[in-house]
Amino acid sequence: MGLFFALCAVAAAAVLGFGPGDGRVEFQLSSTLHEIEGEALGFAGQLDTAARTGTLTVDAGSLTTGLGPRDSRMLAWCLEAPRFPAITFALSSIEGGQTGLASGVGSGSLSLRGTLTIRDITQALVVPATFAWEGDKLRIKGRHDMKWTDWNLPDPSTVLSTVSPDMAILFDILARPA
């Protein structure tokens, strides 16, 4: 009987929230010298499983690759983080997972439709993802391959290393009842 009430509470808790302690948001790029991996140390968001909408906001100034000079160039010149402090994914709809998202149990595949804003450019995109309920928490994982040139970002290449425009954004987030 207790499990029944717990499951009903999960299904009723449609709004879930998350932050940096609840997972990872990462990015990967290639250059002529090596692969570049980085992560967002500051991010927050929410997901409304009933409305099938949500947001993910990354603190642009929190992005790091672990190499100071490269990070300084990325933050100050490419992203202009002081002028454009947030990178935002506005989730407008979720395709798939109708039964699992609403019931608070199970797992499956999703397509996350929304817009990604980097600096002053907003582009529509669809991100493939998976979901799995872990008790009253919802784990969402995904990867989106894109080109940073689509957001008119300045080329971070240097004389010694050319950066490929292809990049991947990866996320693994555990959203909790808000």
> Residue 133 pLDDT > 80, yes or no?
yes
Three-state DSSP at 142 gives strand
Mean pLDDT to the nearest integer, 37-65 = 97
| 9 falls within a domain | no
N- to C-terminal Cα separation, the chain? 25
Q: Whole domain around residue 75: which residue ranges?
A: 15-177
| 2 falls within a domain | no
What is the residue type of 2?
G
CA dist 106 → 130, 132, 137, 163 (Å): 11, 6, 11, 40
Beta-carbon neighbour count of residue 163 at 10 Å? 20
* % of the chain at pLDDT higher than 70: 93
> Residue 1 pLDDT > 90, yes or no?
no
Q: How many domains does the chain have?
A: 1
The whole-angstrom separation of Cα 3 and Cα 10 is 11
What confidence tens digit (pLDDT) does each residue in 64-119 have?
Answer: 999 888 899 899 999 999 999 999 999 999 999 888 888 889 999 999 999 999 99
Length of the chain: 178
| 116 falls within a domain | yes
| 5 falls within a domain | no
The whole-angstrom separation of Cα 59 and Cα 80 is 12
> Residue 155 pLDDT > 90, yes or no?
no
Mean pLDDT to the nearest integer, 52-62 = 97
| 6 falls within a domain | no
pLDDT category, 32, cuts 50, 70, 90? Answer: confident
* Stronger pLDDT, 34 or 94, i.e. the higher one: 94
What confidence tens digit (pLDDT) does each residue in 134-152 have?
Answer: 999 999 999 999 999 999 9
The CATH number for 88's domain is 2.40.128.110
Give the chain's mean pLDDT: 90
Amino acid 13: pLDDT: 59
| 4 falls within a domain | no
What pTM did the predictor assign? Answer: 0.89
